[in-house]
Amino acid sequence: MPQLNPAAYVKLDSDKKLFALMLTVIVTLTVESQIGYVADFIPEQLSSGMGITVFIVIAAVFVVTQYIILGYVRQLNKETKDRISHLQLLQTGVSIGQYILLAVIALVILQILLIHEYSILSLYITYAISYGLWLVILALLARAFFSWYRFSNKDVIVLLLALSMIAYVINGVAGLANFSGMLTQQKPIVTSVDIAYFPEFSIESVQQQINALYQIAGIIAYILTWIGTVKMLYPYIKKLGKIKFWAIMGIAMAYYVINYPLFVLGYFTLSENVDAMMNILIFSMASLLSGIIFGAAFLSVARTLRKDSSLRKHMMIAAYGFVLFYIAGSATAAQAAYPPFGIVSVSFTGLSCYLIYVGLYSSAVTVSQDMTLRLSIRKSITDQTKFLDSMGSAHMEQELQSTVLKIAKKHSDVLTEKTGVEASMTESDIKDYMEMVLSEVHKS
């Protein structure tokens, strides 16, 4: 397996460069997944020379961007001195999985160019690896959150995020079963004259029940993620602005509330209007918009933090991870189009989950650690003032600052050792917070 060159990270040495890269990926996956959704409407265009060229270009973007992203995350983990025990193993597993997917897509392209057909086995392998990474990574993230939940005095933020990860795991299991069932209805060899096929199943069938579980788990995961995101980012609402914060999160929930009864419950079907293809495209944008809204919340808060902050970088990674996950996780290649549009988006599923793991875990734990550290500082100041009231005011504050600073540093080191993630509060931040608490103490 080729080694990741640190130079890949150098290319992303600014927020603008990282944004440009992620925007390229987001646009590419959106276009590819949208084409996959309507592949049965445009079979001749897809199998034409132009259609195959577009597919090859999208695959090339996949190769380059995943290489750079993996390099960036590896470098970020080194910079933040992240000591999560299984992170290195996870990084290796994700890298191997993504390179295998790259090989699968390359093989599909060669088959199309040389013999004008491809094997459906390539789609089975793509789903097995991509969704396998989804399940393993988010299960590990749920486990990490539950472990941290016990340590963090039962922080509700961590619990909500842990539960949302479990819902995503169930959603992934049902999704893998659902798409595998669809693939069983396809031809073993797809040729240039074949048209993409979306199998339909009766309401009483097992396949339809699996699809229902897939939808329900996705709904629960969405709601839990929304609540967890609000709770997690709420401490930064003043920096972001209440109106902007609630506008972003309110739109996310309003969109979901409208989308659910219209589409999921069947009050509006895709075939009711004349232009069915346009309705399908509008409906399929739901996941993209959901991911963008969650991502926007994290990005908005990240931009209020100092540029060298570990928390800022991890929140940005979490933001892009959610956007990519909602696009890739809702994409499908099980319709077996020619060429197989949707396969690149599905192949990004595992990598997007890894971005969520690195970004969300580190961000959530850092936020919780900062809150715990602030509580520790406040308690220490309150306790220490009881013993130092008899001293002169100036000397008392000097002694107090020295004592509490030592306690805060020690507490911060303990948290870092327990979680593997460093707190974002610097010594300067601690001193500023101490002055604020002292001011409150004096007033009272």
Convert the pLDDT of each residue in 145-173 to its tens digit. Answer: 887 777 656 677 778 888 999 999 999 99
Distance between CA 357 and CA 370 in Å, rounded? 19
Distance between CA 341 and CA 326 in Å, rounded? 17
Supply the pLDDT for residue 68. 92
Supply the pLDDT for residue 287. 66
- Identify whether 339 is preceded by a cis peptide bond (ω within 30 of 0): yes
Mean pLDDT over 267-294 rounds to 63
| Contact between 138 and 165 (Cβ < 8 Å) | yes
Distance between CA 286 and CA 265 in Å, rounded? 15
Supply the pLDDT for residue 367. 62
> In this predicted structure, which of 185-194, 254-263, 389-398 has the lowest mean pLDDT?
389-398
**Coil, helix or strand at residue 215:** helix
Mean pLDDT over 422-440 rounds to 58
Confidence of residue 416 (pLDDT cuts 50, 70, 90): low
CA-CA-CA-CA torsion sign (355, 358, 360, 366): negative
204-239 pLDDT, tens digit each: 888 888 988 888 888 888 888 888 778 777 766 776
Supply the pLDDT for residue 24. 94
What's the first-to-final CA gap in the chain, in angstroms?
63
**Coil, helix or strand at residue 127:** helix
Mean pLDDT over 355-373 rounds to 70
Q: Closest Cα to residue 56, out of 24, 38, 39, 32?
A: 32
User: CA dihedral defined by 17, 21, 22, 23, rounded to 10 degrees?
Assistant: 100
Mean pLDDT over 336-365 rounds to 89
Q: Which helix (H) or strand (E) is 130 found in, with range?
A: helix 121-151
Residue 290 is encoded by which pair of tokens?
Answer: 């959901």
